[in-house]
Structures are given as C-alpha cells and as structure tokens.
Amino acid sequence: MGAIYIVRHGQADPSAYGVAEAADSSAPIGSLTDTGVMQAKMSGALLSSLIPKVDAAFTGTLPRQQQTIAAVLDSFPGAPAPVVEAGWDEYEIPDFGSAATIDDFRDGAAYQRMLDARLGEWIDGSLVLPDGSTHETYADYRDRIRNAARAAHAAAGSGQNVLVASSAGTIGALIAELWQVPDARWPVLARTMVNASVTKLIAGRSGLSVVSFNEHAHLADRDGGIATFR
C-alpha cells in the first residue's frame, strides 16, 4: 500500500475567492499571503517528520496551489518536481466573483451564505448559465476529480508517498465520494477545512481509503496558532 497526503493551499489573497481586491498587485491573482506561505512550510515540516521522502507530487494549476506545494517540498530536498494536473483545481462558480464584495468576504458568515446558495444551484442544476456557456458543470467537476485521484493512486505504489496540493472544495468532494456523502452535503466538509491542513489517504488494491481528514493541530497550537479558514 502507498499513501497520499493532500494539503489544502495556505491562506490566499481574497482575489482567490473571486473578490476583486488583491493584497499585492504584482503577484499572480489568488497568491498566498505571508501567513499562507508560513502555513504551507509548517505543513511541510510536519510531513517531513512523518515520512522520509516524497516519491511523486501533484498540484492544480492555481497559483495558491502551486505556491503551497513548493513551500511544502522545501522540506524534502531532492523530491521530484510536481506534476501539474488541472483535475486538482478548485471549482469556479459562474459570475460569483461579481456578486461578492470585499465587505462580504470580510464578513465570513455573509460570504458563506452567498457561496452556499450559489453552490446549491450549481449542484442541483438550477443555476442558469448564458446561452453558449462552456462553464464546467458539476458533473464534469466531479469527473475530473476522479481522474486526478486515479493518477495519484497509480503513483502510490507499495511504500510510496504521494503529495498533492489542492483546495477545500475539491478535497472535500473527493472525501465525500469516498465516504458516500450525498452531493448536496459535500460543501459542509469543504466549509470546515483549515488552510494548509493535511488529509491522508491509503492507496490499496481495492481503492482509496481515508485515514485522516483536515489535520491542523500543527497550525492551531503554535504561539497562539495561525490556523485560518480563508
């Protein structure tokens, strides 16, 4: 059996969530904050205390994901370069960014209500898209996650350790499938995920099994903690 360690990206600038305000206009949209980089490095330090090496690595295409895996891999000299796989990207809700303001984002409850409502419409198919829209459907989203997970599973041979950097929604959707959580309920898992938390899967002949989900004690118990949700 092999193991797959999935790290949620560290704290990112509000632009990562469709809010038009970036902390640093010189950085790519949705880049990690300084806190996010520190969180990712702390997760790398945790993992390097648990496993001797990383045999394969995967990341989505988003800057916050790629910056996270780079910071984690700093703790593993000689690790292979990560494979960029769009299947690990976060979902993107049509026109959600134009509806959410920076004030909504700072009021976490207000932002979450808006996100939950739009997610619900996307999941049940009631979200109206413009004619000719090529936006990803919910079914397509779940299919690409399955394909990305299969690639990680294939890389996790006996005794092999695979590292993945992804996002809360995508990690939550994968865990929901493994736990047989109904489609309408998987956002509840994503909502609880801490930045740079670690989820561990065992890759066996019969498939993937969840060993732990959203581990973040290493972030919450250090000088008052630097655990964040966004």
How high does pLDDT run on average in the chain?
88
Main-chain phi, psi angles of 14, to 5 degrees: -55, -25
User: Mean pLDDT over residues 58-66, rounded?
Assistant: 98
Q: So what CATH class is 2-92+137-220?
A: alpha beta
Token representation of residue 132: 């000719």
User: Mean pLDDT over residues 146-174, rounded?
Assistant: 97
Domain spans in the chain, listed from the N-terminal domain onward: 2-92+137-220
| pLDDT value at residue 72 | 99
| pLDDT value at residue 94 | 62
Q: Angle CA(200)–CA(93)–CA(169) in degrees, nearest 5?
A: 10
The DSSP letter of residue 32 is B
Main-chain phi, psi angles of 135, to 5 degrees: -65, 145
Burial string for 139-178 (b: 16+ CB within 10 Å, else e) reads eebbebbeebbebbbebbeeebbbbbbbbbbbbbbbbbbe
pLDDT tens digits for range 120-137? 888 988 877 766 666 888
